[in-house]
Amino acid sequence: MSNPPLPDTPIRRVVIAGGGTAGWMAAAALSRTLGKVLDITLVESEEIGTVGVGEATIPPLRTFHRLLGISEQEYLAGTQGTIKLGISFEGWKARGHRYIHSFGTSGRDHWSAGFQQFWLRGRQEGLASDYADYCIELQAAHQDRFAHLPDSHVNYAYHMDAALYARFLRELAGRHGCRRVEGKIAEVETDAGNGCIRALKLESGDVLQGDFFIDCTGFRALLIGQALGVGFSDWSQWLPNDRALATQTTAVRDAVPYTRAIAGRAGWQWRIPLQHRVGNGIVYSSRFMDDDEACEAFLSSLEGEVIRTPWPVRFRPGQRERCWERNCVALGLAGSFIEPLESTTIHLIQRGIVRLLQSFPGVLSQAAIDDYNAQLDAELQHVRDFVVLHYHATERRDSPYWEEVASMRLPPSLQHRIDLFRETGLVFHQPGELFAENSWIQVMMGQGIQPRRHHPVADVMTREDLGRFLGDIRRNVLDTVRQFPAHMDYLRRYAPAPVPEAVKRAQALP
């Protein structure tokens, strides 16, 4: 049965259901770019908490901030922010093993082959050192250093306080005309004729009418799921984790410029260092670890004073069958959830917003809706495959959990990427994909997937020329990083953040 025709009335009133990171990112972006032609309202309730664990980001957020005219120094100081050069994966390939997936590029490519091909030949002939030695960001992460370079050559992201970020964006959206309404949504009214959402009725009795709605109600998905009935595709067969615990602790040392992802018996833990505190969490599968055991393992591993009682998060990995349905777009957890292993939650919100802005219709268009859904679907599956790679490509067999993920049947798209790299050293990469070739290389080799051969173009160089080529790159990387100050020394000068009251109270405890 086909859907009824979409209404052809102009879109003038946009209602955002829910605040948090997703809601206020949408409100800030829409009001900053389209606020002069749209009436934008966000409804949220202070009584409804947010998941509040999305504190690590990836580099495209910097582009989003430039779009909104956000000062990096004000943002870092206002969100307790620190620099993130990558993620340290500890115990993923094997117990005691560590590698860093950095945001940088490694070496220099040739038009016919990537740098890894020359490095592979260099390793074969004893001319190349560790792959990490050829990337500025990776070496800076290892040495806990950071600095801005004049040519913007360093690629980086941020760690931040998610609640402070939402507040930061709320102020920005307000300056550009977004109206905030306090209240809980009691009912979503739809039009029986065209199936679109007509209004949100609040518990107070107030009614918010709109032409277009953005669902940022988290896992509840009040609009896209409950009201419009869009189904959810479950990815548990590839991503078995379904629960998390999160908390905050005082910092006991200077923040490092990377996120830590520490593999455990039935999941993993994160450590996200801010200027004066640390975000901590454990992600696990309830089929392999019960809640009490997870809590005990988590609390026993913490450093510093606990600032906030640990809070639980239950989730189901997957995506909406359609993130845009009729006159409603779902952002954040209402639309998809891929666990935060590669810090993609905020990025996927950002991509949803940017794509919405690029295709925002004067009136609803089914062609624009279908294109939006197709693009977002492809990106979600790309990110899913990258995260699944970390679990499957492992030498660990020390628990039923690791035995299962290592032997699972992969999505065909991921299996192809692994086979191609293992057999040829080539990386399958589509234009516009989030994770670039060097990300796939770093994680595949970090997890133990080694190419069997290198591209013949690497054999064109003489042994002496190859040695000079690799040596020059390595020296340039090391010389550049040697000039960087310590990460926190740089931040204390560049964008110092005040000590939060909660941290002061925790530090004062006997």
pLDDT at 51: 55
pLDDT at 110: 80
Handedness of CA 408, 410, 414, 420 (dihedral sign): positive
pLDDT at 50: 60
Handedness of CA 479, 58, 79, 168 (dihedral sign): positive
| pLDDT digits 0-9 by tens, 245-256 | 999 999 999 999
pLDDT at 347: 93
pLDDT at 502: 79
**CA 243/CA 284 separation, integer angstroms:** 6
- Residue 284 parent element (H or E): strand 277-284
Q: What percentage of the chain carries pLDDT values higher than 90? A: 89
Sheet holding 336-337, edge to edge: 232-234, 318-320, 336-337
**CA 389/CA 441 separation, integer angstroms:** 12
Calculate Rg over the CA atoms of the chain: 24
**Is residue 507 over pLDDT 90?**
no
Handedness of CA 108, 113, 116, 119 (dihedral sign): negative
**CA 222/CA 161 separation, integer angstroms:** 26
**CA 172/CA 1 separation, integer angstroms:** 44
What is the arithmetic mean of pLDDT over 210-237? 97
Question: In sequence order, what E strands does 95-147 have?
Answer: 98-102
Which has the minimum average pLDDT: 12-26, 41-55, 177-191, 495-509?
Answer: 41-55
**CA 183/CA 204 separation, integer angstroms:** 7
Q: Please say whether the beta carbons of 374 and 84 come within 8 A.
A: no
| pLDDT digits 0-9 by tens, 128-173 | 999 999 999 999 999 999 999 887 689 999 999 999 999 999 999 9
Pairing state between β 212-215 and 328-330: parallel
Q: How confident is the model at residue 237 (pLDDT cuts 50, 70, 90)?
A: very high
pLDDT at 193: 93
Which of 26, 423, 384, 93 lies closest to 234, judged by CA? 384
Torsion of CA 23, 29, 33, 36, to 10 degrees: 30
**Is residue 17 over pLDDT 90?**
yes
Domains and CATH numbers, the chain: 13-55+161-233+319-364 (3.50.50.60), 104-155+383-482 (no CATH)
**CA 297/CA 251 separation, integer angstroms:** 20
Q: Please say whether the beta carbons of 269 and 298 come within 8 A.
A: yes
| pTM, 2 dp | 0.95
From the list 84, 93, 201, 504, the catalytic residue is 84
Which has the minimum average pLDDT: 121-125, 235-239, 307-311?
Answer: 307-311
What is the arithmetic mean of pLDDT over 54-72? 93
Which tokens is 502 given?
């909660």
How many angstroms separate the Cα of 275 from the Cα of each of 218, 256, 411, 414? 28, 10, 39, 37
How many angstroms separate the Cα of 94 from the Cα of each of 89, 139, 240, 265, 394? 10, 22, 19, 12, 7
What is the arithmetic mean of pLDDT over 453-478? 95
**CA 450/CA 452 separation, integer angstroms:** 6
Q: How confident is the model at residue 510 (pLDDT cuts 50, 70, 90)?
A: low
- Residue 86 parent element (H or E): strand 86-90
pLDDT at 489: 98
Q: Please say whether the beta carbons of 427 and 417 come within 8 A.
A: yes
Sheet holding 306-314, edge to edge: 98-102, 86-90, 259-263, 267-273, 277-284, 243-250, 306-314
**CA 190/CA 44 separation, integer angstroms:** 20
Handedness of CA 399, 400, 401, 402 (dihedral sign): positive
Which of 168, 170, 164 lies closest to 43, judged by CA? 170
- 84 assigned to active site: yes
Label residue 410 exposed, middle or buried (CB < 10 Å: 0-12, 13-18, 19+): middle
Which of 54, 17, 233, 67 lies closest to 159, judged by CA? 54
How many angstroms separate the Cα of 323 from the Cα of each of 8, 32, 242? 21, 23, 21
